[in-house]
Amino acid sequence: MAILKVKDVSKRFGGLKALSDVNLSVEENSVHAIIGPNGAGKSTLLNCLVGKLIPDTGSVLFDNQSVLGREPYQINQMGISRVFQTPEIFGDLTVMENMLIPIFAMRDGAFRMHAYETIANEKEVLEQAEAMLEEMNMADKRHMHAASLSRGDKRRLEIGMCLSQKPRLLLLDEPTAGMARADTNNTIDLLKQIKDERDITIAIIEHDMHVVFSLAERITVLAQGTPLVEDTPENIRGNPKVREAYLGEAA
């Protein structure tokens, strides 16, 4: 069953047509990669999925509910979590606090005046955060300021924060951009582990073919704002159209 359906989505910026008639569906519990050369409209598409942009036409359905016109925080509450190209974390706060915030957000919703509570007494939330830190191998760093973490650790933390909310769909925007090879491989391993251990759908926008072919089960190739093909990695590899539009260019 398709968990995310994008139907006939178009978006213009002035005279520039960033997306035209994009149709896409992401199957539940799959890893779906969206690739394409620079300027293909990948980021625009992603922003349409999370409420940052509203497409001019078309619809975006998550679990058969429209996400259009909702604020990013409402879309998150529907079960979509987003990982950014450069890790977006709470730099001034400690690693532990970073992990607590999404869990409180899940427990209490978009806003609550929980000023009468004391964090130290909220055992249940603390335990969940602790468990997630363990899972991310970051328990020993819990008192560090998040801003002082290494790039790879920031990425792990961000992914951990997203997972702690038990999302049904995890969107990743070039998760390994600007990373060293070792960090990239660690991230791939982490994502593989997540895929194997959880009931989760992963949609990933990526530039790095190594990452795409190590993870994806389905691949959509976007070129000039419109999907060129959608297929399995093996078939994409051999597809001459893709070669021409994208891989050939790179080779």
Binding site for another protein (CB under 8 A): 50, 71-73, 76-77, 81-82, 84, 88-94, 97, 100-102, 104-106, 108-122, 125, 143-145, 161, 165
- Cβ proximity to another protein, 1 vs 113, nearer residue: 113
Cβ–Cβ under 8 Å, residues 183 and 155: yes
- The nearest distance, CB 85 to another protein, in angstroms, is 12
The residues with which 94 forms a beta bridge, in sequence order, are: 145
- Between the two ends of the chain, the Cα-to-Cα distance in Å is 36
- Give the list of residues 6+ apart from residue 77 with CB closer than 8 angstroms, or none: 109, 110
- The nearest distance, CB 90 to another protein, in angstroms, is 4
- Cβ proximity to another protein, 105 vs 216, nearer residue: 105
- Cβ proximity to another protein, 94 vs 226, nearer residue: 94
Residue from 238, 177, 178 nearest 204 by CA: 177
- Cβ proximity to another protein, 54 vs 180, nearer residue: 54
- The nearest distance, CB 97 to another protein, in angstroms, is 6
**Residue 114 to residue 39: CA distance in whole angstroms:** 44
- Cβ proximity to another protein, 3 vs 100, nearer residue: 100
**Residue 3 to residue 204: CA distance in whole angstroms:** 15
Q: How far is CA 234 from the centre of its chain?
A: 23
- The nearest distance, CB 158 to another protein, in angstroms, is 8
C-alpha distances in Å from residue 165, one per residue of 170, 179, 188, 211:
10, 25, 21, 25
- Cβ proximity to another protein, 5 vs 52, nearer residue: 52
**Residue 163 to residue 160: CA distance in whole angstroms:** 5
- The nearest distance, CB 83 to another protein, in angstroms, is 9
- The nearest distance, CB 34 to another protein, in angstroms, is 19
